[in-house]
Amino acid sequence: MTTILGISGSLRRASFNTGLLRAAKEVAPEGTEIVIGSIADVPLYNGDVEAADGIPAAVETLKRQLSEADGLLIVTPEYNNGMPGVLKNTIDWLSRKDGLALFAGKPVAVIGASPGNFGTVLAQEHWLQVLRTLKTKHWTEGRLMVSGAGKLFDADGNLTDDRTRQKLTDFMAGFAASLG
């Protein structure tokens, strides 16, 4: 069984990106499991807090999930032409202490959805700097940037567009195959 840890960079209840991650789980190819990690309880990084209290429980859970995963799927919104702070903060926490070793050589794919016309192209580009620094194995065989998301998801953040679902299915099949 191939395991992929999926993390959405949005905290919003009806998030397009969290919906895209749920859809990715639904369309994952046979023999592939997507574990959906949560960033909801990850506090803002503070070195003083880390020194006094250690790594927060929510971060330890994600670290365990990442260590058990064959790959990482980052589902990123794009805020002000860049990556979302809450997701970057989570990655910063995950890379602390022994966490950097969890990323080295880990296959990572990045996708995202946005109501704008350009999908999440700039956020995905910003992630490249971070992924290089973490020494991940960025999967570049496919690219998925969902634009006009307001027309493709319902009010609860569920993907309703068949064309986008097929693109996601193809993307996930490619990423999963690269892990096997």
pLDDT value for 171: 98
Q: What is the mean pLDDT of residues 23-43?
A: 98
Q: Are strands 107-113 and 32-37 parallel, antiparallel or unpaired?
A: unpaired
- The band of 97, judged by pLDDT with boundaries at 50, 70 and 90, is confident
The CA distance from 180 to 17, in Å, is 26
Residue 18: exposure state from Cβ atoms within 10 A (0-12, 13-18, ≥19): buried
CB 145 within 8 A of CB 175: no
Q: What is the mean pLDDT of residues 118-147?
A: 96
**What is the DSSP annotation of 86-153?**
HHHHHHHHHTTGGGHHHHTT-EEEEEEE-SSTTTTHHHHHHHHHHHHHTT-EE--S--EEE-SGGGTB
- The band of 109, judged by pLDDT with boundaries at 50, 70 and 90, is very high
Task: Judge whether residue 55 has pLDDT over 90.
Answer: yes
List of residues 6+ apart from 97 with CB closer than 8 A = 55
Query: Structure pTM?
Result: 0.97
Share of the chain above pLDDT 90, in %: 97
Task: Give me the residue spans of the domains in the chain.
Answer: 2-179
Q: What is the mean pLDDT of residues 128-146?
A: 96
Task: Judge whether residue 56 has pLDDT over 90.
Answer: yes
Task: Judge whether residue 8 has pLDDT over 90.
Answer: yes
Question: Among residues 157, 158, 129, 123, which one has the least CA distance to residue 12?
Answer: 157
pLDDT value for 180: 81
List of residues 6+ apart from 168 with CB closer than 8 A = 20, 23, 24, 27, 111, 144, 159
Three-state secondary-structure class, residue 50: helix
**Was domain 2-179 assigned CATH 3.40.50.360?**
yes
Strand partners, 37: 7
User: If you average pLDDT over every residue of the chain, what do you get?
Assistant: 97
The CA distance from 101 to 95, in Å, is 8
pLDDT value for 89: 98
